[in-house]
Structure 1
Amino acid sequence: MEVVSTSLLIGVGLAMDCLAVSFAAGAHQRTSRIKAAAILALFFGGFQCGMTLLGWVLGTGFAEIVNTYDNLVAAALLFIIGGKMTYEGFSDRKEESPDIFNILAIITLSIATSIDALAVGIGFAFLEIIPLIPSFIIGIISAVFSVAGIYTGGKVGHLLGKKVDILGGFILILIGLKVFFQL
């Protein structure tokens, strides 16, 4: 039972980046929020679960190498996407929101938001914890938080209009800074 309660707490902590990114995505989503919520829940939850398992596998032999570069990769991905969204938000030549629902952006954001789950999986390996149940709990919590972010962001997006792209970009950049300074 302790593994479940600990996994719930870890899951909430790891899901915060998913919540923030989903909020930014939902804020400028102009089409079906149901589809957007389902896509981000599937990808963010799936990547959180998968990266926890991958971290556990890597933790058995490559922990030092992975820990050296994981935050740099996540920060760079968040800076690039956040910078692009911010630039497009300020740009006058563009009338529609940036498409962060293309497959490349979704995968990039999924990787960036799940790097911490990789580190948790490595920790599980060192603690000799079998990560199957914890990784599914982490994935489910991230999926639920992603849905909440899409819907909450959607409510705010209608109020802010085009400025929401700038807000979303800044949110991603701030998360990138947080990740970068965890080095």
Structure 2
Amino acid sequence: MSPLAIAILALGMSIDAFIASTGRGAALRRPSVGEAMRTGLVFGVIEAITPLIGWAAGVLASSYIAEVDHWIAFGLLGAVGGRMVFHALQRGPEGEGAALNRSVWVLLATAVGTSLDAMAVGVSLAFLDVNIVVIAVAIGCATMLMSTGGMLAGRLLGSRFGRTAEIAGGLALIGIGASILVDHLTG
């Protein structure tokens, strides 16, 4: 696989994490740079690990992973997105309740939900002659940078658009989950 193809794959795999972290940054209202970097690191590490898991599973039993990954992604992203919308609607105008979105569990669930497509890519890469470690590192680094940037962009959006940005982020996660499900069920 050429370096350009790896770069395009890495960027493609990190778009959903960027969207999720932008919504998270908006929901947290003024997250610190350290918190943005922590979020980027969590997203990046998980996004780097999942293609390795997918590759290993693809080598062992690709049909089993491919049969359920879209349902898991849909469930996780739908639940996290729905929770974001719910809390945005419940929160007062001063941002009451935003602390709930600082939960490590919410961060991990979002990171796993947005990285399941990278696991599916890892499964497909198991059938090609590629260096999976290089690809996984590229995906992880791109995701870390884009997620950190997304948190900081969400930070700016949150101070201006608050609830609306959080609702949009939640709906985007639900949409990503539904898109993954539809793509797998229809083709």
- Partner residue of 1:63? 62
Q: CA deviation at 1:60?
A: 0.7
- Partner residue of 2:108? 107
- Deviation track 1:55-101 (CA, whole Å, cap 9, x = no partner) reads 11111111000000101101111111111111122226782326333
Change (3 A) 1:46 1:92: closer
Instruction: Report sequence identity in percent.
Output: 25
How many angstroms apart in 2 are the aligned matches of 1:158 and 1:47? 28
How many angstroms apart in 1 are the aligned matches of 2:64 and 2:23? 32
Letter in 2 for 1:110: A
State the SS of the aligned residue for 1:126.
Answer: coil
How many angstroms apart in 1 are the aligned matches of 2:33 and 2:122? 31
How many angstroms apart in 2 are the aligned matches of 1:158 and 1:113? 25
**2:134 is the counterpart of 1:133:** yes
- Partner residue of 2:78? 79
How many angstroms apart in 1 are the aligned matches of 2:57 and 2:13? 19
How many angstroms apart in 2 are the aligned matches of 1:159 and 1:54? 40
How many angstroms apart in 2 are the aligned matches of 1:11 and 1:152? 20
How many angstroms apart in 1 are the aligned matches of 2:109 and 2:75? 10
Q: Which runs of 5+ in 1 are unaligned?
A: none
TM-score (norm 2): 0.90
1 or 2, which has the higher helix percentage?
2
- Asked if the contact 2:25/2:31 (under 8 Å) is kept, the reply is no
Q: Which moved more, 1:173-182 or 1:27-36?
A: 27-36
Change (3 A) 1:83 1:98: farther
- Deviation track 1:13-44 (CA, whole Å, cap 9, x = no partner) reads 00100110011011122354312211221111
Residue correspondences, number: 182
Structure 2 matches for 1:34-73, cutoff 5 A?
Answer: 34-73=33-72
Letter in 2 for 1:88: H
- Asked if the contact 1:97/1:162 (under 8 Å) is kept, the reply is no
- Deviation track 1:76-132 (CA, whole Å, cap 9, x = no partner) reads 111111111111222267823263331211111111111111111112111132201
- Asked if the contact 1:88/1:98 (under 8 Å) is kept, the reply is no
- Asked if the contact 1:98/1:165 (under 8 Å) is kept, the reply is no
- Asked if the contact 2:29/2:159 (under 8 Å) is kept, the reply is no
How many angstroms apart in 2 are the aligned matches of 1:42 and 1:18? 11
